[in-house]
Chain A
C-alpha cells in the first residue's frame, strides 16, 4: 500500500509538471489559431507582416505582396484570405495580425468594436462592383440580365453573412426599386438561387465547374483564376453597388514601421496599377 501511494504521488507530480511546462511554453492570452497563420508576429521576427484580407483580394494582394517584398528586401508578407466576416470574428477573438483588409465597412466596424483597430485610422484603398458571372459554355443560355429570372435557371450567390452576399442583396433591392426589372424579377431570381456560398471565391469556383448557370461575384473576380472558363453579363451602373475596401492597422501588431510602409506602398502608383489590372477600381488615398 505504501509503495502504491508513493507511485501515485510520483505520477501525479509528473503529470502536473508536464502540464505546467506545456502551458508556460505555449500559453498566450487571446491566441486563436483557426485559419489565421500559425506563426504570430513577434519581436523574434522583425520583418514579417501578417495581413488578414478578404477572399476577393487573394490574387491582387499576393501580387502586391510580392512587389512589396521586392521593394523591401528582407521583408516577408504572410496573408490569410477568407470571408471578411470570418476574419472579423477571428480578430475579435484575438487572432494575431498586423493589418486587416475587409471587403466592406461593416466588418471593419465589427472589429473596431473590440478596439483592435481604430476607426479613425481606417483608409479605403480600392473599390469593386458586382457582375453576373456564367460558365463560358453558357448552359443556361443567359444573354441579358432579364434571363436570370427564367424559371429553371440555377443561380449561386454568396451567403448574406458575407460582404459579397450583402452587396448582392443590396443590388437586388436596387433592382426591385428600379423601373426596368422590378420586384417580380427579383422574386423569380430569388427562387432560382440554389446555394449561398460562404465566400465569393466558392461561387466563382462552382460557376467555373459549370455546376450552376450563373452567379454574382465581383468585377475583380473575373480577371482572376479562371478567366477562360467564365463569361459575364454586366450589371447596369445605376443598379450596381460600389464596394469600398477599407484597410486598417491592427493596433496591437508589432510591426509598426513595416506596416506603415506597406500601407504607403498600397497607395503608390505601382500597387494601384496592380489593383486596376485585377479589375478593382483604385481609390484616391485618404
Chain B
C-alpha cells in the first residue's frame, strides 16, 4: 500500500491530468520517427549537404550559447539584484525577442545591420558586411535565444541565498570574488539549464536566420533551413533531416539533464 518513505507515490489523478499533454507532445514526434526508414537515415548522414548543415548548426549554436553565458550573465545579475530607474524597461526589452515572431527579428536585424542598416551602413564603409555570413547566423540565433538564458539565470540569481554572500562580504571578499566563489557554485545548475534552453532555441532557429543570414550551404544553411528547403524537393529528405535534428537535440538535452540531476542529487 505505502511506497518507500523517502519517495512519495505518484498520485494517479496527477498522472492522468498530465497524460494528455505528454501524449500530445510525444505522438507527433513518434509519428515523425516511425516514418523514416533507418536505412535512409544512415545514407543521408553521409550526404555532404546534410553533413554541412549539421556541422554548421552545431558550431553556430555552441558559439551562441557561449555568447549567452558571457554576455547574458551580467545582465541577468543586474536585473536580479539591483533596482534602478529603467529596470522594468530593460526587463521588458529582454523579453521581447521571446514573443516576437522570428521573421520580425530577422527583418529588424537586417534593418539594423544590413548594408543600408542603421549600424550596417557605417560598417559597410569599412568593408564589413554582416548579412549572408556565418556571423549573421550567430547573431540571428543570439537575438532570439540569449533572452531565454537571461530570464532563467535571473531567476536563479534571485533565488540564491544572500546569507552566504553577505557572510563572505563581511569577511572581506570583494564583489567579484563573492560572485565567483559563492554565487556561482550556488546557481551554476540553473545557469546551465538556461544555457541548454538557449542552445535548444538556437538549434531550432529559422525565421530570423533565413531573412538576415540568407541560405547558403556550408555558410548559412543550418539544419532548420535545410529541412525547410528539403521539404520542398523531397519529403523523404526533409523527414530524414528532421529525425536527425530531433535525435541530436533529444540526445544532448537528455544527457545534460541527466548530468544535472545526478549532480544535484549528489549535492544533497
Interface residue ranges, A against B (CB under 8 Å): 4, 7-8, 11-12, 15, 83, 85-86, 88-89, 92, 139, 154, 156, 159, 161-162, 193-198, 206, 209-212
Contacts of B229 in A (CB 8 A): 159, 161, 196, 198
Tell which of B20, B115, B216, B235 touches A193, judged by Cβ atoms closer than 8 Å: B216
- Smallest CB-CB A-B distances: 3 pairs: A195-B214, A85-B232, A194-B132
- A83-B232, A89-B232, A211-B131 in contact; A194/B216 too (CB < 8 A)? yes
Whether B114 is near chain A, meaning CB under 8 Å from some CB there, is yes
Could you list 20 further interchain pairs (A-B, Cβ under 8 angstroms) beyond the known A139-B115, A211-B131? Answer: A4-B12, A11-B13, A12-B16, A15-B20, A83-B232, A86-B231, A89-B235, A92-B235, A154-B132, A159-B215, A161-B229, A161-B233, A195-B132, A195-B216, A195-B220, A198-B232, A209-B110, A211-B110, A211-B115, A212-B132
Tell which of A11, A12, A161, A209 touches B116, judged by Cβ atoms closer than 8 Å: A209
User: How distant is the Cα of A253 from the Cα of B237 in the complex, in angstroms?
Assistant: 29
Within 8 A of A (CB), among B111-143: 114-116, 129, 131-132
Residue contact B110 to A7, C-beta cutoff 8 Å: no
Number of A-B residue pairs, CB cutoff 8 Å, is: 67
Interface residue ranges, B against A (CB under 8 Å): 12-13, 16, 20, 110, 114-116, 129, 131-132, 210, 214-216, 219-220, 228-233, 235
Q: Residue of B at shortest CB range from A137?
A: B116
User: How distant is the Cα of A284 from the Cα of B209 in the complex, in angstroms?
Assistant: 42
Residue contact B116 to A210, C-beta cutoff 8 Å: yes
Q: Residue of B at shortest CB range from A162?
A: B232
User: How distant is the Cα of A210 from the Cα of B117 in the complex, in angstroms?
Assistant: 9
Tell which of B20, B110, B216, B231 touches A196, judged by Cβ atoms closer than 8 Å: B216
User: How distant is the Cα of A89 from the Cα of B235 in the complex, in angstroms?
Assistant: 8
Interchain Cβ contacts under 8 Å between A and B, 12 examples: A12-B16, A85-B232, A86-B231, A161-B229, A161-B233, A162-B232, A194-B132, A194-B214, A195-B132, A195-B216, A211-B110, A212-B132
Contacts of B215 in A (CB 8 A): 159, 195-198
Residue contact A198 to B228, C-beta cutoff 8 Å: yes
User: How distant is the Cα of A194 from the Cα of B134 in the complex, in angstroms?
Assistant: 11
How many whole Å from B12's CB to the nearest CB in chain A? 6
How many whole Å from B229's CB to the nearest CB in chain A? 5
User: How distant is the Cα of A100 from the Cα of B108 in the complex, in angstroms?
Assistant: 34
Contacts of A89 in B (CB 8 A): 231-232, 235
Q: Residue of A at shortest CB range from B111?
A: A209
User: How distant is the Cα of A89 from the Cα of B231 in the complex, in angstroms?
Assistant: 8
Residue contact B16 to A8, C-beta cutoff 8 Å: yes
Contacts of A154 in B (CB 8 A): 129, 132
How many whole Å from A194's CB to the nearest CB in chain B? 4
Residue contact B12 to A8, C-beta cutoff 8 Å: yes
Contacts of A198 in B (CB 8 A): 210, 215, 228-229, 232
Residue contact B214 to A8, C-beta cutoff 8 Å: no
Most buried by A among B13, B116, B229, B232: B232
